[in-house]
Structure 1
Amino acid sequence: MKSESIVVVGAGVIGLDVALVLAKRGYGRNTTIIAEHLPGDTSINYTSPWAGANFSAISASDANALRWDKLGYAYLLSLAAKDDKDAFVKESTSTEYWDEMPSPAKIDSMAKYLKNFKEIPAGDLPSGVAYGIEFTTITLNAPMHIRYLLRKLTEEYGVRVVRKRVSDITSGFLSKDTKVVFNCTGNASRDLNGVQDSKCYPTRGQILLAKAPHIQQNVMRHGKDYETYVIPRPYSNGNVILGGFMQKGVSTADTFSYETESILSRTTAMLPSLASSETQILAAFSGLRPSREGGARVSKEVIQVDGTGRQGVLVHNYGAGGTGFQAGYGMAIEAANTVAEELQALA
């Protein structure tokens, strides 16, 4: 089948962004997404719906992360300008603080492309903060945004979707017509047969969903072993995400009252207007960011598909941690670029 020429395994934001980049290049009807969980589902093993989500300076300072951030920011800014309500994305003012000074490379990179970028004078920083900036961010309503992506892919570009759990990445090669498979399986890449990347690990976060229509600004504080953030959720009738935690190697789906209290204490200290009687805590959730030692993996390899000696091209694209919504589009561009020659042969 022509629709099985390209298969994307995984339907989190990383897999959906790959499918979108492919569709924009004319390969929508060549593409099938296969995944155990799809937008609209909830599971501790399906990370994207639990995200904050926004464009933030939380990412690392390596060249890959900085490049993917820049590509992702340009894409999200454009999407907010032309399709904000349908895509559930919105420009927002943002203030970000660091307890430790970011690298000069990271500061230089941000200053060159972030809209309305401004450093906060040292005398205006809260106690314990070493550096701060203001800029225009993009906030996303995570569960609704991935639904938008899936709808766009299927209705506008003709991408096929199959709900299927794979136990081996070679299962992505659905038939002899499948030429390229993209592995976008996130946390599953640690144990998935054919991948089994020991560098992968979950990073647990707990968040609170609050009703706080008076909060319109995005505020974050990057600590040495914590993250505190307030992220308005666009087009949600005034909901706000409060967080959070960055617990490396922790995989429980449980939520804890003492973590809820910690989040409330830290976020109200950072943004006192949260303490208003207008703020109502609706629920607590936990999610597992798909992290990887050394950063996300975007790479291509040729593998044996079955016992007949048939070879296939596998592109790995996973391990974005907490940056999937901001770096995903940039990662998708580079993942697709690794197989440009193979894709051209499908035309």
Structure 2
Amino acid sequence: MVTLPSNQSIVIVGAGIVGLDVALVLAERGYGSLITVVAEHLPGDTSQTYTSPYAGCNFSAISGSDPNALRWDQLGYSHLCKLASQGEPHRTFVQRTPSIELWDEDVPEEKIKHMSEYLEDFRVLESDELPQGVKFAVSFTTLTINAPKHIEYLYQRLKNDYGVRFVRQALPHLRNAFASPDTQVVFNCTGNAARTLPGVEDKRCYPTRGQVLLVRAPSVQTNIMRHGRAYETYVIPRPQSNGNVILGGYMQKGNSDGATYSYETESILRRTNELSQELRQGEQELLAAMSGLRPSREGGARVQRESIVIGGETKAIVHNYGAGGTGFQGGYGMALDAVQAAGGILQGLKLQLQPSSRL
């Protein structure tokens, strides 16, 4: 039986970065007391089906080149810059970091041109600066994020500062998110579950497996990524982690294997040490190998409103999933669009937030 708190007009299904960003956008607009986040896993948990804690993670050109992805990236970069500028990186776990990004082939020129208009310290590297086999490279200031700590920060901030409720519960059907008659809109932020969850069952969704390594390497201060034929290699320093670094990786479309493999660990160590001089020159201690499943979708992420009839009353679902490996960098922009899609309902809910007038 599904039981949810009463007087919760807004329900968000999913507590990964995409769901948390939706909650943050709504809370910042004054709706915190009306929100319940329902999820099988919450920040602080680990599970093969809970992707966000396993993210690298940084801001990069790894996202799509369609207009939505470009816009979401720009909005996300601005949001992350604000979090990094609050003077409390130990709270947000978001940090400005120098970055180098390299392509062996298939340079996304239009995407890079768009990103160059807002990335801090953007520069195209000269040909004599390129490693062997690299066709094109840029440097800029990225944002690196301690993924598990950042979602815990959002979780605590939403609960303590905005009064958002969190309910640990797996829903058998998306319709069950309307268990409370007060619920007017549900935001579907179910990630990988969107492929199989009754009420969604989007067959365009698929997992993209990655294996990464957590190492202690305090000498690494620069984010560096190399996009090659059928591989991705990256070195991402993790903020506020006592010198820990994420090394990767793999982009295995349709692979849902949650195991880790020693031969992949060996490949990651070889490739990342070839890529990063900082990594080669300092001490390294391998702490863990981890596997995660990026919630991907053919055609890109889905941010779309749908009407549903519950008990004879028309209500709304706003779908917001399929970000793949770009949830941390594009999730805030996606959340802005998702909240905009629910605009009419949210305007009506403002009446619940106004104190009753007395004669």
TM over 0.5: yes
Query: What SS does the aligned partner of 2:213 have?
Result: strand
Which of the residues 73, 76, 80 maps onto 2:80?
76
Residue aligning to 2:129 = 124
- 1:28 aligns with 32
Once structures 1 and 2 are overlaid, which stretch shifts more, 93-102 or 269-278?
269-278
TM-score (norm 1): 0.97
Distance 1:74 1:102 in 2: 24
Where has structure 1 moved over 4 Å in runs of 4 or more? none
Letter in 1 for 2:200: V
Aligned residue-pair number: 345
Q: CA separation of 1:276/1:103 partners in 2, compared to 1, >3 Å: closer, same or farther?
A: closer
Counterpart of 1:272 in structure 2 is 277
Q: Once the 2 structures are TM-superposed, how far is the Cα of residue 35 of structure 1 from its aligned partner?
A: 0.2
The answer to whether residue 5 in structure 2 is matched with residue 5 in structure 1 is no
Residue aligned with 1:228, SS: strand
- 1:90 lines up with 2:112 in the alignment: no
Looking at structure 1, the residues matched to 104 and 138 of structure 2 have their Cα atoms a distance apart, in angstroms, of 12
5+ residue gaps in structure 2?
351-359
Query: What corresponds to 2:334 in structure 1?
Result: 331
The percent identity for this pair of structures is 59
Q: Match for residue 244 of structure 2? A: 239
Which residue of the partner structure matches residue 190 of structure 1? 195
CA deviation string 1:60-100 (max 9, x = no partner): 11111110000000000011000422011111000000112
Name the structure 2 match of 1:43.
47
Cα distance in 2 for partners of 1:2, 1:330 equals 30
2:235 aligned residue = 230
Amino acid at match of 1:326: Q
1:158 matched to 2:163? The reply is yes
Q: Which amino acid aligns with 1:245?
A: Y
- Contact in 2 for aligned 1:101/1:131 (Cα 8 Å): no
Task: Answer whether contact 1:212 1:280 (CA < 8 A) is retained.
Answer: yes
Q: C-alpha separation between the residues in 2 aligned to 1:66 and 1:279? A: 36
- SS of the residue corresponding to residue 225 of structure 2 reads strand
- Alignment-derived partner of residue 139 in structure 2: 134
Q: Secondary structure at the match of 1:126?
A: coil
Aligned residues of 2:14 and 2:38 also touching (Cα < 8 A):
yes
Q: Please state whether the residue corresponding to 1:346 is helix, strand or coil.
A: helix
Deviation at 1:2, TM superposition (A): 6.5
> For 1:300, what is the secondary structure of its paired residue?
strand
* Separation in 2, partners of 1:124, 1:176: 62
SS of 1:259 mapped into structure 2: helix
Change (3 A) 1:126 1:155: same
After alignment, is 47-56 or 78-87 more displaced?
A: 78-87
- State the superposition RMSD in angstroms: 1.1
Q: Is the 8 A contact 1:89 1:138 kept in 2?
A: yes
Looking at structure 2, the residues matched to 99 and 167 of structure 1 have their Cα atoms a distance apart, in angstroms, of 45
Q: Give 1:343 shift.
A: 0.2
Q: Kindly state the Cα deviation for residue 276 of structure 1 after the two structures are TM-superposed.
A: 4.1
Deviations 1:112-171 (A, max 9, x none): 000000001122211221110000001000000000000000000000110000121111
The separation in 1 between residues aligned to 2:293 and 2:108, in whole angstroms, is 27
Q: CA deviation at 1:24?
A: 0.4
Query: Secondary structure of the equivalent of 2:133?
Result: coil
For 2:147, the aligned partner's letter is A
Match of 1:320?
Answer: 323
SS in 2 for 1:337: helix
How far is 1:3 from its partner? 4.5
Q: Note if contact 2:219-2:282 (Cα within 8 Å) is conserved in structure 1.
A: no
Measured in 1, the distance between the counterparts of 2:328 and 2:78 equals 13
* 1:240 Cα deviation after fit: 0.2
Q: Which amino acid aligns with 2:341?
A: T
